[in-house]
Homo-oligomer: A and B are copies of this chain.
Amino acid sequence: MAGRLAIIGGDAAGMSAASQARRRDPDLDVVAFERGPYTSYSACGIPYFLGGHFEDSERLIVRSPEQHSERGIDVRVHQEVLAIDLAARELTVRDHQARTESTEPFDQLVVATGAVAVGPRVPGADHLEPARTVDAAERFDEQLDRGGEKAVVIGAGYIGIEMAEALKKRGFEVTMVDIADHVMGIAFDADMAKHVQDGAEEEGIDVRLNCAVEGIDLDDDGRPVAVRTAGGVLEADHVVLATGVKPATQIAQEAGLEVGEFGGLLTDDHQRCTGHDGVFAAGDCVESWHRLLERPVNVQLGTHANKQGRIAGINATGGDAAFPGVLGTAVSRICSREVARTGLTEDEVARFTDLDVIAVVQKSLTRAGYYPGAGPIWVKLVAERSTGRLLGGQIVGVEGAAKRVDVLATAIWAGMTVQELELLDLGYAPPVAPVYDPLLVAASAAVRELS
């Protein structure tokens, strides 16, 4: 198929779409516009770069613009799409280096504009740049190199804790504040979030909850000096904003593309924007079907972005691929703990469903008790009371939480019950699990709770 496929956004979703389309249709003109200098980078790796796990920020880049060009994708970095004209099939593009604007035609379009940070709406916050891209991370890294003693992280979700740990590892005194009554936001119930918080506090991070930020004081050069909170003033040589992100949909909405309740672009399961032929969207800027809630939600994760981009690329080139939806699986390793969740928390069940559920929390060991390195792991399961159908899992442990949550995700995906889970043939060997895996221990407790 001849023609031109334009892609807005050069990270995971956009470049997955570009690569897939390029591979499938050698005659297609594939052009990708990226407003920053980099393509296909791992934003999730930024806290580990800042924490000094590796030196070279370039390692975050999976594939550079040059590498994409070599594969026949026309990548335009430093070029920002300002407007989409769906009727005329044209983009208005600003070249930030040449300082010019041009009009670019397209036959088909993939919108992969990602997400933007939502800072706290307090004085001073607008002056701070969130370290969400590789170039922003490099700038923040230079700032950190200039010294100082104290850092304040605003927001105690995944990114907040990952950044707090990174700053602690860099030698700063770190305070993390959040307006909520527990860490990890809505991703974890309070009882499980407590184990994450314990991990952060064991690393020496000062965690302040129920604590509203009122403003950020800056010096004459615009550098942070202090964070004013409801609980007092915190001196701060560095401030990290980690209060969440929202889908970046402004130009898409101005062009008439529809957004859902969570602010993401609405697509069908082929990543086609509702009601617009040849227009696709993928990644952090879209809403994805939640298989348990049976409604679209906005989940920002590289894994979905990659898959959805790939699916958009397949469908834009005459293929037929469908994204089957998400379960809300998310994992991290923070502060000597692996933390993982999938499906619904008790809190989400209460907020978004009418389901009647039971929930259990069981503490176990990650390995046979006598095997060196065995440590605590907590597993929480949420199941439907009438049937035992598994609805959600949260795991926090010194190791082995992430891959164990994948077992739960697979079980939820397949519609399994806790009764089935209890007798699953899971692997056992002293270095990797006790004879009753923590998942089986939790499933047994859930079965008892149901009876």
Chain A interface residues toward B at CB < 8 A: 12, 42, 44-45, 48-49, 53-54, 59-60, 291, 301-304, 306-307, 323-333, 338, 340, 342, 368-372, 400, 402-407, 409-411, 413-416, 420, 423-433, 435-437, 439
- Residues of chain B contacted by A325 (CB below 8 angstroms): 425
**How many copies of this chain does the complex contain?**
2
Q: CA of A433 to CA of B302 in the docked complex: distance in angstroms?
A: 12
B303 touches A60 (CB 8 A): no
A435 touches B306 (CB 8 A): yes
B432 touches A402 (CB 8 A): yes
Q: What is the CB-to-nearest-CB distance from A114 to chain B, in angstroms, rounded to a whole number? A: 15
A429 touches B371 (CB 8 A): no
B406 touches A426 (CB 8 A): yes
Q: What is the CB-to-nearest-CB distance from A75 to chain B, in angstroms, rounded to a whole number? A: 20
Q: CA of A42 to CA of B435 in the docked complex: distance in angstroms?
A: 9
- Residues of chain B contacted by A430 (CB below 8 angstroms): 42, 44-45, 48
For A46, give the chain B residue with the smallest CB separation: B430
For A400, give the chain B residue with the smallest CB separation: B403
- Residues of chain B contacted by A342 (CB below 8 angstroms): 425, 427
Q: Name the contact of A428 in the complex, choosing from B302, B372, B415, B423 (C-beta under 8 A).
A: B302
Q: CA of A54 to CA of B430 in the docked complex: distance in angstroms?
A: 12
For A436, give the chain B residue with the smallest CB separation: B306
Question: Can you pick out 20 interface pairs between chain A and chain B where the beta carbons lie within 8 Å of each other?
Answer: A44-B430, A45-B370, A60-B370, A302-B428, A302-B435, A303-B426, A307-B423, A325-B425, A329-B426, A329-B427, A331-B428, A331-B429, A333-B432, A404-B406, A406-B406, A406-B437, A410-B410, A410-B416, A413-B416, A414-B416
Q: Name the contact of A426 in the complex, choosing from B400, B409, B416 (C-beta under 8 A).
A: B409
A432 touches B403 (CB 8 A): yes
Q: A301-B428, A430-B45 are in contact. Are A324 and B12 (CB under 8 A)?
A: no
For A162, give the chain B residue with the smallest CB separation: B429
For A303, give the chain B residue with the smallest CB separation: B428
Q: What is the CB-to-nearest-CB distance from A15 to chain B, in angstroms, rounded to a whole number? A: 12
- Residues of chain B contacted by A371 (CB below 8 angstroms): 45, 48, 53-54
A432 touches B45 (CB 8 A): no
The 10 closest A-B pairs by CB, nearest first: A403-B403, A414-B414, A331-B427, A59-B370, A333-B431, A402-B432, A303-B428, A410-B410, A327-B425, A329-B425
B423 touches A323 (CB 8 A): yes
Q: CA of A426 to CA of B302 in the docked complex: distance in angstroms?
A: 11
For A402, give the chain B residue with the smallest CB separation: B432
A427 touches B410 (CB 8 A): no
Q: A400-B403, A414-B411, A423-B307 are in contact. Are A432 and B338 (CB under 8 A)?
A: yes
A404 touches B403 (CB 8 A): yes
Q: CA of A409 to CA of B414 in the docked complex: distance in angstroms?
A: 12
Q: CA of A430 to CA of B372 in the docked complex: distance in angstroms?
A: 25
Q: CA of A48 to CA of B374 in the docked complex: distance in angstroms?
A: 14
A429 touches B44 (CB 8 A): yes
- Residues of chain B contacted by A431 (CB below 8 angstroms): 48, 332-333
- Residues of chain B contacted by A435 (CB below 8 angstroms): 12, 42, 44, 302-303, 306
